[in-house]
Chains A and B, each alone.
Chain A
Amino acid sequence: MAINTDKNSYTVIFAAVMVIIVGSLLAFLASGLRPRIDENERFEKQQNILYAMGVNQNEEGGSADFIPTDIVEEEFSKYIKQQLVVVGSETKEREEAYLIDLKKQLNIIKNGDEAELPLFIGEKEGNKYYIIPMYGKGLWDAIWGFISLDENMVVQGVVFDHKGETPGLGANIKLRFFMDDFTGESILDGSRISGISVIKGNNDPLNNDKEDNEVDALAGATITGNGVSAMIKETLKLYKPYLETIRTK
């Protein structure tokens, strides 16, 4: 049976059938796997929030190790004491505030409306951690993360992640050696809430100076690094009204 595959009608029918088959296959797959994927993403957020406040499985000199997914929900409810949303100058408590999509909220702000900004208060060994989500732009695509602060506006930990930064270069922002540099760094410039910049050649590769608002950049990842600096700065600007009410220094 020879089919004339050059006929226009055949081409159109072939294209239509192919699109229907492929479309339904993908739709079926996507909706079937959705619950599992959602769960994975929820666990990941909890892991990240806990990581930023130092609840992780990091070993001396090792890689960045998160709390395993099977116990992360338990640990999350144990360490995270309050989940808040900051709306303008008001702060409300909200269950499951960690599920708020920060990207959407930032778009609301861009349109000039009032957004709901999530914030988490964690407690570990008597210390309080204020954990703030961040979202920004790297070189290729989105970057995001969490930063945890204490009342003195000193960083207690950060976690970064990215969608598509270059492997071996910008992608290294999620590696432990880079994230560890932020810990202990003050976000205060004088007495003003400023941020932390990722800087090349600040003559401090070991990051001994914790008051300079600077960490050493990654070679070959200038734009990703600038993205991290901008993300921290912009985020802190948004949360500044709240941070002013809790800071003791």
Chain B
Amino acid sequence: MGLLSKKDANLILDPLADNNPITIQVLGICSALAITAELKASVVMALSVLFVLGVGNVVISLMRNIIPSKIRIIVQLIVVATLVIVVDQVLKAFAYELSKTLAVFVGLIITNCIIMGRFEAFALGNGPWKSFLDGIGNALGYGVILIIVGFFRELLGSGTLFGIPVLGDPIAKTGLYATGYENNGFMIIPPAALIVVGIIIWVQRSRNKALIEEA
């Protein structure tokens, strides 16, 4: 990476794997459970968080020296809420269809612990450029897990990807369903997400033993 120094590059790359916000920091689990029943919602959520965390981290970082520490959490909350409302209003005016898809996520973004977590842990103590990279990195790390979970849940639960049937028609019994395969209804309810995330954590830690906490 010629564009970024090694340290800067790590800010983006670390959260993708060894310091992943969901599987290692265990932040943002709530939204990972709630919206991963279909792949499209996962992608939309990942992109929304990418924007809000990227911009929010920069804003907080720029303000870091003037924020009174006593009310910093409230200030962070206001920044997130403002960003989300701005995005929501602009979309409602210029991309109405998309805004309806996003409506569900607005509340979830504001309360997403990854965003507050990164503001608190990183942006308050680092410069804007580093904070921006950290925000992008963490949002990507979050998004990757969301998309993996969404992929498996939609495929196994509904037999579709992005709403398009890929395994055949379950009612007319074509494709894979002709062999007696059935959709697993359990996959589309939230506990399934916990199991998929659990499997990802398991796979990740068995590949990288350094991640295993001391018992």
Mark A residues whose CB is within 8 Å of B.
3, 5-6, 10-11, 14-15, 18-19, 22, 25-26, 29-30, 33, 36-37, 40, 43-44, 63, 161, 163-169, 171, 205-206, 219-220
B158 CB to closest chain A CB, in angstroms? 7
Query: Contacts A33-B93, A163-B103 known; A168 to B37 CB distance under 8 Å?
Result: yes
Assembled-state Cα–Cα distance A69/B169 (Å): 32
- Cα A3 to Cα B63 with chains together (Å): 13
Size bin of chain B's contact surface: 35 or more
Q: Is the CB of B89 within 8 A of A3?
A: no
Q: B residues near A, CB below 8 A?
A: 34-35, 37-38, 40-41, 65-71, 74-75, 78, 82, 85-86, 89-90, 92-94, 96, 100, 103-104, 107, 153-154, 157-158, 163, 171, 185, 188-189
19 A–B contacts, CB within 8 A, in A order: A6-B68, A11-B68, A18-B78, A22-B82, A25-B82, A26-B82, A26-B85, A33-B89, A40-B93, A40-B96, A163-B103, A166-B35, A167-B40, A168-B153, A168-B157, A169-B37, A169-B189, A206-B171, A219-B185
Instruction: Identify A167's interface contact among B35, B67, B94, CB under 8 A.
Output: B35
Hey, which chain B residues are within 8 Å of A171, CB to CB? 104
A36 CB contact (under 8 Å) in B40, B93, B154? B93
Please give me the residue from chain A that is nearest to B186 by CB atom: A220
Tell whether A10 pairs with B68 under 8 Å between CB atoms, given A22-B78, A26-B86. yes
The CA-CA distance from A30 to B82 in the complex, in Å, is 12
Known: A10-B68, A168-B158. A220 touches B89 (CB 8 A): no
CB neighbours of A5 from chain B (8 A) = 65-69
CA distance A210 to B13 in the complex (A): 57
How far is it, in angstroms, between the C-alpha of A3 and the C-alpha of B171 when the chains are bound? 69
Contacts of A25 in B (CB 8 A): 82, 86
Q: How far is the CA of A167 from the CA of B107 in the complex (A)?
A: 14
Chain A residues whose CB sits within 8 angstroms of the CB of B107 once the complex forms: 164
A168 proximity list for chain B (CB < 8 A)? 35, 37-38, 41, 153-154, 157-158, 188
CB of B66, distance to nearest CB on chain A (Å): 7
Please tell me if the beta carbons of B86 and A37 are within 8 angstroms of each other in the complex: no
B68's nearest neighbour on chain A, judged by CB, is: A11
A44 surroundings in chain B (CB, below 8 A): 96
Q: Which residues of B contact A29 (CB under 8 A)?
A: 86, 89-90
Name the distance in Å between A67's Cβ and chain B's nearest Cβ. 13
Please give 18 more A-B residue pairs, beta carbons under 8 A apart, in addition to A40-B96, A220-B189: A5-B67, A5-B68, A6-B68, A6-B69, A6-B70, A11-B70, A18-B78, A22-B82, A26-B86, A29-B89, A37-B89, A40-B93, A166-B104, A167-B38, A168-B35, A168-B37, A205-B171, A219-B188
Q: Is the CB of B70 within 8 A of A220?
A: no
Q: What CA separation (Å) do A6 and B189 show in the bound complex?
A: 47
Please indicate the chain A residues that have their CB under 8 angstroms from the CB of B74 in the complex: 15
> Residue on A with the closest CB to B42?
A167
Q: Knowing A6-B68, A11-B71, A15-B71 touch, does A164 contact B89 (C-beta < 8 A)?
A: no
User: What residues on A are CB-neighbors of B86 within 8 Å?
Assistant: 25-26, 29
Cα–Cα distance between A15 and B63 once the two chains are bound (Å): 13
Bound complex: CA of A15 vs CA of B67, how far in Å?
A: 9
CB closest chain-B residue, reference A205 = B171
Q: Given contacts A26-B86, A220-B185, is CB(A37)–CB(B68) below 8 Å? A: no
On whether the beta carbons of A33 and B92 are closer than 8 Å, the reply is yes
Complex formed: what's the CA distance from A30 to B85 in Å? Answer: 10
For the complex formed, measure the closest distance between the CB of B150 and the CB atoms of chain A, giving whole angstroms: 9
Least Cβ distance of B156 to chain A in Å? 12
Tell me the minimal C-beta distance from B177 to chain A in angstroms: 14
